[in-house]
Amino acid sequence: MMLVSAFAGYEHIMGLYRHAIAQKYRFFSYGDSMLLTRTAPASQAS
């Protein structure tokens, strides 16, 4: 979480974490990570 906080801000990430706990999200540790990116709509692709 500290690594993500370095990019998104500590207070923002902790707010998201509190929300996840309140909603009873499940947390699993697999040691994996992923990168999510946005792609341009087909009409804007070059």
The residue ranges of every structural domain in the chain are 1-27
Q: In the numeric block, which tokens belong to residue 1?
A: 């979480």
Query: Residue 46 — pLDDT band, cuts 50, 70, 90?
Result: low
The residue type of 30 is Y
Q: Is the pLDDT of residue 10 over 90?
A: yes
Helices (H), ranges, the chain: 2-8, 10-22
What does the pLDDT read at residue 3?
Answer: 85
